[in-house]
Structure 1
Amino acid sequence: MKNKIEKINNKLSNLFEVEKKPHKILYEAINYSISSKAKRLRPLLTLLICEAYNVNLDSSIDASIAIELIHTYSLIHDDLPCMDDDDLRRGKPSLHKKYNEWLAILTGDSILTYAFELICNIKNLSHEKKIKLISSLSKYAGKDHLIAGQVIDLMSENSNINFETLKFMHVNKTASLFICAAEFGAILCDATKSDFENLKLFAYNLGLAFQIRDDILDENSTTKDLGKKIKSDIKKNKSTALTILGLEKAKNLEKELYDLAYNHLSKLSINTQSLNDFIKILK
């Protein structure tokens, strides 16, 4: 997996060359954000699916990176003072702390829009597949998924929400881009209808389990470990899996979700060893 992450990082590092333009500070801010130390889980998932179907990774890398760009934009905006107001991201100052708020907003906007431009410019990919990728990304990054989750997250500050609302938030704010990554792999590989659905359900359960684990780690880790502020949700009086379920039930739910993810992998028509290994690095 390490070589795939290196491919992703190399592609990202050459995506936005800082030229002598009047607005070069924007390019500097973009590179500051995308060069951060990150796990690259979402693009990695797409590439692992493509590898399992024996699809050339060189033709899939740009599509996978488009998802990482959406993820990065969402983190930039999430850290803004008007939202979560976080000073630290991926072990270094948040973009609005490194530069300023207006540049952070415009940088996020630039990364968001470029994700779709990147897909449009993929070589040796049919127009039909490009349309499917754009449709998937715009859906999961949009008003009823990623943004919907963010709305609920901000509305939940200083209020008690029930588990169903928390689940809605986690599925949309976190799991949605994992589902999108799985859909990207399925689209690029011409997966059967059955495989397509099982890949989506695998990613749904995986993404939700990942966020439950994040809730647990937020209570039991250090800022150095996570590269971001800890216990920020508790300080803002937000509900989490721990505050609603308690530690033991939250851990049990996490395990159940990972088991469901494994179960959906077992139904696929491909060798899923690398995807099983992917689950292990998240646990």
Structure 2
Amino acid sequence: MDDHAAFPQRFEALRVGVDRRLAELAPPVGSAPDRLVEAVRYALLAPGKRFRPMVTLLAAAEFGAPEGAALDAACAFEMIHAASLILDDLPSMDDAGLRRGLPTIHRAFDEATAILAGVGLLNQAYAVIAADAGLPGPLRADLTARAAQAVGFSGLIAGQARDLFDRDRLRDQATLDRLNHEKTGVLIIAAAQGGAAIAGASEAAVEAVGLFARHIGLAFQIRDDLIDAQGSTEAAGKDVGKDAAMTTVVSTLGPAGARQAMEGHLASASNALAGVGRGDLLGAYVGGLFAGRKAAA
């Protein structure tokens, strides 16, 4: 039986371990032009919760993976997330000026360097998975496929395109859920299911973890919409108010309705893991992140 009182310390130790390993996996000085290396390390190692790698590590732990078995895969998912933020913030996309409390990459460096850093991080993520000698070849291939699908034309890329091309149109709840699933949920699903797969979880368990992650992704996006509508730049660590002219869950349901929808997704996530007799670690971790319902995503 897990000691729930020790969970916060365990979670912090895992996060610190992710930060340490990310610093090791990031391109070292001299491996590429200095400006590019500096930009990549600036983006990848900026302070953050490391939510996606934490989900990978905790999903692996839920199903009995040896300690450290999922660490490199977890870091690969963080690289993908960092790359997506770089590209999402570009002037041709959301034109953001602040991310994680720091100037965005194209502001701190320049737009060309930001694009190269984002593309480089995406490729480095795949390389990290492929080079993980602690995992059997078929599992590495499976993880790479999950990561690529999360990025591609049914994942982050599709979601960003849909957001750009359709942002002036009215969106119903089903359309918003699809958009939010692609922009946020798909990568969280890949990270969570990747951790379960590393642990050798059953197909039913991997599916349950995916359902958990799907609902968590939708809950996170609603919280992000609430922060954009009601939060401050200082507290969020990023620009807010950028979605004011767009149709979001908050503008569709109102703040109270959006919070209710978020709570519904959190409950559904918990039920998904309860169905396979798991969820202590993931449930406690996600519960802590949503405890105040105000922290930035």
Please, what TM-score do these two structures have when normalized by structure 2? 0.91
Are the aligned partners of 1:51 and 1:57 in contact in 2 as well (CA < 8 Å)?
Answer: yes
Quick check: 34-43 or 20-29, which moved more? 20-29
Assess, with a 3 A threshold, how the Cα gap between structure 1 residues 51 and 21 changes in structure 2: closer, same or farther.
closer
Pairing partner for 2:286 from 273, 276, 279: 279
| Residue of structure 2 in register with 1:101 after alignment | 111
| Residue of structure 2 in register with 1:134 after alignment | 144
Distance in 1, matches of 2:233 and 2:226, equals 14
Please, what TM-score do these two structures have when normalized by structure 1? 0.95
Pairing partner for 1:247 from 231, 255, 259: 255
Q: CA deviation at 1:159?
A: 2.9
Quick check: 71-80 or 177-186, which moved more? 177-186
Q: Which amino acid aligns with 2:274?
A: S
Q: Which amino acid aligns with 1:124?
A: G
Unmatched 5+ stretches in structure 1: none
RMSD: 1.3
1:19-98 alignment runs, 5 A limit = 19-20=29-30, 23-98=33-108
Distance in 2, matches of 1:22 and 1:265, equals 43
Q: CA deviation at 1:197?
A: 1.1
Distance in 1, matches of 2:166 and 2:236, equals 23
CA-to-aligned-CA distance 1:235-277 (integer Å, 9 cap, x gap):
xx2111111111121111111111100101111244x211111
Distance in 2, matches of 1:183 and 1:193, equals 10
Structure 1: which 4+ aligned runs deviate by more than 6 Å? none
Assess, with a 3 A threshold, how the Cα gap between structure 1 residues 188 and 160 changes in structure 2: closer, same or farther.
same
Q: Which amino acid aligns with 2:286?
A: I
Distance in 1, matches of 2:50 and 2:205, equals 23
1:1-283 alignment runs, 5 A limit = 1-20=11-30, 23-234=33-244, 237-270=245-278, 272-283=279-290
Question: Could you say what secondary structure the match of 2:68 adopts?
Answer: helix
Are the aligned partners of 2:59 and 2:193 in contact in 1 as well (CA < 8 Å)?
Answer: no
Are the aligned partners of 2:87 and 2:118 in contact in 1 as well (CA < 8 Å)?
Answer: yes
Question: Could you say what secondary structure the match of 2:240 adopts?
Answer: coil
Are the aligned partners of 1:18 and 1:28 in contact in 2 as well (CA < 8 Å)?
Answer: no
Question: Could you say what secondary structure the match of 2:25 adopts?
Answer: coil
